[in-house]
Structure formats: structure tokens, C-alpha cells
Structure 1
Amino acid sequence: MGSAISLRADFGGEHLRRLARQTRDAAQTRRLLALASIYDGGSRSDAARLGNVTLQIVRDWVLRFNAHGPDGLINGKAPGAKSRLNDGQRAALALAVERGPTPYLDGVVRWRLCDLVRWLWEEFRVSVSEQTLSREVRAMGYRKLAVRPKHHAQDPRAIEEFKKTSPPVVAGIAFGAAKGKRIEIWFQDEARIGQKNKITRRWAMRGTRPSAPHDQRTRSAYIFGAICPKLGKAAALVMPWCDTHAMTQHLAEIARHVADDAHAILIMDQAGWHMSNTLVVPENITILPLPPKSPELNPVENLWLFMRENWLSNRVFKSYEDIVAHCCDAWCKLESQPWRIMSIGRREWASGF
């Protein structure tokens, strides 16, 4: 029979008992006391009886203690099965997720877990479950996130140029049309809310098919909305149509929300009723048009998404008046939460204005 493995010499029985009194880990306490009895001259059999384990386990404790000290006697997390993906396959998976699927090759326009499982098998002949793949992509930092709208025909260079040139333009307006007044940056857009309404996701028991009311009628109204993210202010009108007259009324409403000692720069897209020659622009507002086909520069687009998902979807509107009432109620909720306007509406490229 082999000789017993000696305990490391930099500890003693009294030292281990003192550590046992200090620790809150019951398993570590039991092991420290068992090893302390060995330091005091007790046999390995006595230590095994004290720890209520076998001699082989006491030997394992000695090896762990000699290698890592008292911390080696704390239960660690089991390493689990070896990962099915290596570093090269993870890099290829990350590249595929970033690039997105090719519709005519992959047959889908967005990756689902089942699609990525199939892709891994076709590329590397590696078989993984959807649950395992979900843990892998989450460990790589990926989450399912709501996307910002992006026009298919936009010019990325024009967008970057707008971000670079808009601060000097704002500065020029501040010393020109604003006559030295304080500048408020506003964003404006419209949203159509109608009886043919959106249906959103909702919590339900796994395996069930939740339902939501959905109407096929076509009565609708338009929310003309504008926000000042820096100050958390908002101004809106609910109109039955979307034209130059309605836009003129909305500009007047925005002008009433601009502080007396301020001048508003209103950033919005180049819709026809925004750029019309007959549009009446108040004196305390200067319009700064966005580049064509660049909705992601306008944070009001994200406000519409938030309002639809939380306040305006999954319901049936009885009439046009009912649509108007719900639109007004939703916007009033938004106005009462300036912190939400600041959170959703703030854009890093516009923070220097």
C-alpha cells in the first residue's frame, strides 16, 4: 500500500480551525476540520469518519488543499461537457450572424435558431440543439433586438455628411435667424394609426398560440408628432389627413411649445408637405431637412414603434373618434414621461448641438 500524501507545511491544525470558524461554506468547514485533525496527529481514517466520507475522498481533499490552499476545498462548478464548437466555428458563426442570411441561398430573410442549426450542419457537419446554440450566441454577445428603419435606396455617405455638417449649420442659424437666442433641437414625423391595426408579441404559455383582436376596416388618423429630446418636450396634433395645411397647423403647435427665449431647429424628412412653398413656418422655427431616405436619423420613428407596441396595438377601434381619442391618450402619456422622450430620442451625433 502506498504511503499517505503529506499535507503542505505552511498551515497547521489551529490555523485551519480558525479558517473553519470564519467561513460561511458548510462543505469547506467540514473539510477544513477533517484536515485539521490530520495536522494534529490523527489518522486518515479518523479524518474520514469526521468528514463522513471515504479514505479516497480524504486523499482528494489533501491533493486539492496542497494545490490551492483552503480555497481548493470549496465546491467548484462542474466543467460540463466539452463545447461542440471550436474557436474557428464560432468566428464563422459570428460572421454569418453579422452578415445575415442570403434569401435565395438560405431561404429566409432573418436568422432563426433553427436556421443557424441547419447552417452549422451544412457548413461544418456539427450537430447542435437550438438550446445549445442559443447559449453560444448569447455568450458571444448577441441578442434579439428591435431594428431601426433603414431605406433600401439610401446613400450612406449623405447620412455621414449630414452628421458632420449639421453642427456648423446649427451654429450658423444660432447667429442668424435665431438672433442669438438659445437653440432647441426638435425632431418631427407623422404616423398613421388606423382600424387595420398592428398585432404585437405577448406573453403566453409555451406551446400555445395567443390571439389578439384584429380589424380589417380602414378608418384612420394621423399623429403629427415632434419632440425635443434634450429637454424632454413634445408637441403633437391628431389630424384626419396628411397635407400642407395639417403641417402648417402642427408647426404652429410646435411654436407654442418653444421657450420665449429660444429658437427651434426642426429636423424632419423631405416629405412633400414638409417642403411645400405654401407651408407657413413660424418665426421661431427653422427647418433643417434630413437627407433623403434616412429614417434612422429621426428618433420619432422609434417613438412610433414604442407607442404602437405598448399603447396602440392589439385593439379594435370602433370609429374615427375612437382612433383620435386613443391617439391623444397615448401622446398625453408620452408627454407625461419626459425621461422616456430623452431616452428614446437622444442621438449621439446630435448631442453636440
Structure 2
Amino acid sequence: MTLPHAKTWSQRGRTPAVRVRGRCRRRISIAALTCCKPSHRSRLIYRPRRDDGRRDGRKSFSWRDYRGLLIAAHQQLGGPIVLIWDNLNVHKAAGLREFAASREWLTIYYLPPYAPALNPVEGVWSLLRRGWLSNVAFSTPEHLVERIRRGLRHIQYRSDLIEGCLTETRLTIRPT
């Protein structure tokens, strides 16, 4: 619940200050897929995961969470998926590799290491941080989750924003 910083206006000599009670140790993780297909509108599929301190000791997504996201994406999209992933260690977990190998509808390629400019989801996070999450003091983790979902829903319904994030990577889609 650390505040993202953005610029604001105030009277000269009076710096605006927002009082925050204390740091919350709970973490909210989000996994997202930007989906594109020639002659179709771009889509965003995402899953938030709140660290409640109870589930298998992990504070972020496990390979099983990513597996669930991929299964949901396959059901929503109704076709084969070519997944281009960054080199996050969980993306290369043995269980996830075995899952991908056993599914004929899933093909995975990896981006080069340290190449966030090639990942369109980084553009989505940037839009979210600069828009719906900036200049807000979150009172509870639920308040943060609600703002994240509102922002992601807005991006979901505006395919031009998703296409802008895809265009920014300069990667192209070639019909086969």
C-alpha cells in the first residue's frame, strides 16, 4: 500500500502532505495477459492475488496460479495461445513447463532477460500507476484492490489502450 507518487498543484510555499497511518505488510500481486489477434480487438485478462498470510507461505503468484490464469485465458479466448513471457523464475518453474508441454494449445516463448520495453503488460502497469493509483492514500487493502480492479476494468474496455501498449513494444503480429 505504498503510495505511487505523482505531481500535484498547491499554493506556493505550501507543500501538500497526506498522512498515512502505517505501512501494511500485506501484498497484492496481479498477473495479466495482453491478448491480440489480427482483425480482432485486443484484450486484457488479469487475476489479482491478495496475500492473506495463510496460503502456502507465498506472498506472490505460484506456478499453479499462473496455470489457472492460462486455463481461464484459453477458455475465454477459445483457441490456441502463443504466450510470450518475461524471464520471471516462476514462469520457468518445472511444474509450469510440464503443464505447457502437455497442452497442445499452449506455446511459450521467452523475452530476452532485462527487456521490459518488449513486454506490453509493463505499459498496462504504467497506465494503472499513472492514472487510477496516483495521488490516492489507500485506507485499507480492500480499497487498493477496488481501485486496481476499477482501473484494469477501464483498460479492459478500451482496446485502444491495450493496442497502444502493444504498439509501444514494436513487436508485430504476422498472420499464419
TM range (shorter): 0.7 to 0.9
More deviation, 202-211/321-330? 202-211
Asked if the contact 1:299–1:347 (Cα under 8 Å) also holds between the matched residues in 2, the reply is yes
CA distance, structure 1, for counterparts of residue 157 and residue 172 of structure 2: 23
SS in 1 for 2:125: helix
User: For each residue in 1:282-324, what CA deviation from the matched residue of structure 2 results, as whole angstroms up to 9, or x when unmatched?
Assistant: 5422111111111111121121111011102322333333333
Cα 1:284–1:206 shift into 2, 3 Å: farther
Please name the residue that 2:24 is paired with. Answer: 217
2:117 corresponds to 1:296: yes
1:305 pairs, out of 122, 126, 135, with 126
Structure 2: runs of 5+ lacking an equivalent: 51-59
- Alignment TM-score, normalising by the size of structure 1: 0.40
Q: What is the RMSD computed on CA atoms of the aligned residues?
A: 2.3
Q: Which amino acid aligns with 2:93?
A: S
Asked if the contact 1:234–1:335 (Cα under 8 Å) also holds between the matched residues in 2, the reply is yes
Asked if the contact 2:85–2:110 (Cα under 8 Å) also holds between the matched residues in 1, the reply is yes
CA distance, structure 1, for counterparts of residue 12 and residue 80 of structure 2: 53
1:316 pairs, out of 137, 146, 151, with 137
> How far off is 1:278 after superposition?
0.5
CA distance, structure 1, for counterparts of residue 165 and residue 150 of structure 2: 19
In the TM superposition, what are the counterparts of 1:1-353 in structure 2 within 5 Å? 195-205=1-11, 208-212=14-18, 214=20, 216-229=23-36, 231-240=41-50, 241-258=60-77, 260=78, 262-279=79-96, 280-281=99-100, 282-347=103-168, 349-353=170-174
The sequence identity of aligned pairs, in percent, is 23
Asked if the contact 1:198–1:314 (Cα under 8 Å) also holds between the matched residues in 2, the reply is yes
SS in 2 for 1:273: helix
Q: Which amino acid aligns with 1:342?
A: E
Asked if the contact 2:118–2:170 (Cα under 8 Å) also holds between the matched residues in 1, the reply is no
Cα 1:313–1:288 shift into 2, 3 Å: same
Please name the residue that 2:54 is paired with. Answer: none
Cα 1:242–1:206 shift into 2, 3 Å: same
> How far off is 1:202 after superposition?
2.2
Structure 1: runs of 5+ lacking an equivalent: 1-194
Asked if the contact 1:235–1:254 (Cα under 8 Å) also holds between the matched residues in 2, the reply is yes
- Alignment TM-score, normalising by the size of structure 2: 0.76
Cα 1:253–1:203 shift into 2, 3 Å: farther
- Structure number with higher helix proportion: 1
Larger radius of gyration: 1
Cα 1:257–1:283 shift into 2, 3 Å: farther
Cα 1:348–1:235 shift into 2, 3 Å: closer
> How far off is 1:235 after superposition?
0.3
CA distance, structure 2, for counterparts of residue 303 and residue 348 of structure 1: 12
Please name the residue that 2:57 is paired with. Answer: none
